[in-house]
Amino acid sequence: MRYTHRRSRIAADSIFSAIIAVPLFADVHQTLFNGAPYFRVKHSMSKTFADFPLHESLQQALQTLGFTAPTPVQEQSIPAALEGKDLLVSSQTGSGKTAAFLLPTLHALAGNEDTLLSFKDRMRAVTAPSILVLCPTRELAQQVSQDAIGFVRHMKGVRIAAIMGGMPFGKQIQQLKGAQVVVATPGRLLDLVNRRQIKLDQVKALIVDEADRMLDLGFSEDLEAISDLAGNRDQTLMFSATFAGRIISLAERMMNDPQRISIETGHSTNTDITQTLHWTDGFEHKKKLLTHWLNGEDVDQAVVFASTQEDTDMLAEELAEAGLSVVALHGAMPQTVRNRRL
């Protein structure tokens, strides 16, 4: 577990409190740190989206969304992806990576609107998307599909579907019908392939978002199975926070001589924060160390990050049992509860 602590001297008698939060919850980071974005998006001064040969409908959507200058990851990835290259891109959440892979792949679809099957024919046929985006989590799949819906708002007849675990199959199959763009978590996608509700042999562009998290979550085999099923594709784009060895070897298995694009995140370390790394022998040791440390006299308030929602709840409970005033906070809670807890 990683944990972050910010020493603050608010009031000598303030009661200790701890908020346990999972990193997915980006809006909370923003609220906690005085509204400053967690990852700063550096905008290029030289380019505008009009410099990219993107289809008019996408240019229109960008205007509606108020996007003018591309972020660094967009500036580098969009032209290379438009040339049809396979790309391996290092980028963080908040860097604008979603538009970096959606815009060039949707561009190809925008140019081919005339060749799309009629709505009626599509509803009769097994769904066969031409763009497939794989995401490690439901939340990310939902966010990416929402972004895609925003980008195709001026394109005719393009249907976007999000496929993720936790949703009833019937409802999901209905939503999936006739979609040309599918955003999915790997496990549920393979379930639907096995139920013959979707086929991947017409995928032209495969995008793997947050590939490092995919591997952390054990999706390696699922990714390779999907890569084989979508073997007729022309292009693969992979986005990852790092170029660790395991990502490179995954890219080698799934991609064709990819061009590497490395993006500076642009966030500098806050010098007010002292960073310390503690090695522990296991979970019990880690918990004891954390409790001891949170009980320190100079700790008034702390934010502890855990890697999953379940860990967050469990840790909050255990710290409460150890006598600390603590609340848990994560994305599975209704917004009203999150606001109250904050």
In the complex, the residues that contact ligand AMP under the rule CB under 6 A are 41, 67, 69-71, 74, 93-99
Residues 6 or more apart whose CB falls under 8 angstroms from that of 316 comprise 18, 20, 326, 327, 328
Closer Cβ to ligand AMP, 26 or 128, answer by number: 26
Minimum Å distance from CB 73 to ligand AMP?
Answer: 8
Minimum Å distance from CB 42 to ligand AMP?
Answer: 11
Closer Cβ to ligand AMP, 30 or 202, answer by number: 30
Closer Cβ to ligand AMP, 110 or 144, answer by number: 144
Minimum Å distance from CB 101 to ligand AMP?
Answer: 9
CB 304 within 8 A of CB 18: yes
Closer Cβ to ligand AMP, 157 or 266, answer by number: 266
Minimum Å distance from CB 54 to ligand AMP?
Answer: 12
DSSP class per residue in 172-186: HHHHHTT-SEEEE-H
CB 175 within 8 A of CB 155: no
Closer Cβ to ligand AMP, 41 or 225, answer by number: 41
Closer Cβ to ligand AMP, 150 or 157, answer by number: 150
Closest CA to 101 of 212, 231, 240, 227: 240
Minimum Å distance from CB 8 to ligand AMP?
Answer: 28
Residues in the chain: 342
Minimum Å distance from CB 162 to ligand AMP?
Answer: 15
DSSP H helices in the chain? 26-32, 56-65, 72-82, 97-111, 119-124, 138-151, 169-176, 186-194, 211-216, 220-229, 245-254, 283-294, 309-321, 335-341
- Provide the edge-to-edge strand list for the sheet that holds 301-305: 301-305, 17-21, 326-329
Minimum Å distance from CB 41 to ligand AMP?
Answer: 6
Minimum Å distance from CB 276 to ligand AMP?
Answer: 29
Burial class (CB in 10 A: 0-12, 13-18, 19+), 2: exposed
The Cα–Cα gap between 159 and 178 comes to 7
- One-letter amino acid identity for 253? R
Residues 6 or more apart whose CB falls under 8 angstroms from that of 185 comprise 134, 135, 136, 137, 138, 141, 163, 164, 165
Closer Cβ to ligand AMP, 18 or 261, answer by number: 261
Closer Cβ to ligand AMP, 79 or 157, answer by number: 79
